[in-house]
Structure 1
Amino acid sequence: MKLHKEGYTIMAVAAIILIVINLGIHMLLPDGYWIPRITLIASIFIFFLIVQFFRVPSRVVNKGETQIIAPCDGKVVVIEEVVESEYFKGPRRQISIFMSPINVHVNWNPVSGVIQYFKYHPGLYLVAWHPKSSTENERTTVVTRTASGVDILFRQIAGAAARRIRWYVKEGDKVEQSTEMGFIKFGSRVDIYVPLDAEIKVNLQDKTVGSVTVLAELK
């Protein structure tokens, strides 16, 4: 396992702040006080939480031309038919995955193909499970066209705590399934829109493993 580059600055700043706090308390309070010890233990715990958030585990990825792979770790919270109004302007099957702060927050490409459409939307920071978060929160919209000509849309959506979305793709890029495409910091959600005739392979409340779990199979 390694640590993600998006966390380097945050981890360094957090370490400096926690060291300064602990040195200050140690200097202000005489030896024997319990507060410095409690502060040190709490600081180690907080820093551990920050570090684990930016972990990038080693995985044996899944790849399949007709398969749509989970773009993130998390839990399936929505499987429903909706009208996607930004790109398709028509009905699609939506699969939404909620990422809690303890999940790995790397995002992977769900299919191989060429990026046909990309747009970043500044927006609100509603809780990630709010019904309007998909259309009103800070988010990106990415559409990848597979070799068979099927367009798959997915959105990185910021949650109440996540206010920083990173992406490493742009229109015209050729991408490989299960390769890294972005990162969302501190709790969020990813929506995937698939054709109505795609066979859904997951159920509500299922846990997903990014770049491994098969969400759907294209006809």
Structure 2
Amino acid sequence: MARSTELGLIGLTSIALVVGLVVGPSPSARADTTSDTISSTILGGALSAVVSAPTQMSPVILDGRSSHASIGRPAVWTITNGRGSSAAWSLSVSATDFISAPGTLDTVERTVAVKNLTITPGIVTAHTSEGADAAPTTEPVTVSGLPQALVWTSTLGKGTFTLTPEFSLSVPLNAYRSNFSGAIDGSVVNPFVSILTFTIA
């Protein structure tokens, strides 16, 4: 005997549940912000100059007709201002008269006045690639026994500067020759010598 089975169908409804989640940093991933300070002390250095007179001035031959000049150029001068301030500075010079010392037979000291010496500073190069200020002021100086400024600045002047000056000694028409140190035969003479004093401050 055939048996029929009736199945009752239950209606099923699918529901999609969407939940919005806000994800924050975990306690271990939070930025921990603090502040601190850093300091550096910058100290001023020295003001210095490496300068010299020419090792040898050019010789002069008296001719009885006109004055002549004895010329000399020293090694490059270097001025360094590492003080780190805007304080003014100057490089000055003074000198003694030129004297040819007495010799064995030339027994009288001979003199050429220092006022005949002129120093021309020439072009000053400021090492701006290293952060130097603009080049300082210069002026040719007729040298005397009192200090006179060759190179100076009124305010700025930090850094390193170089220059090659020219020394020129005007030898008067009536100048005496250098004294011979021994026999008067021209072999050994006492040149005219001046002592120069440079001051930077």
After TM superposition, the score normalised by the length of structure 1 is 0.33
Higher helix share: 1
Structure exhibiting the larger radius of gyration computed from Cα positions = 2
Higher strand share: 1
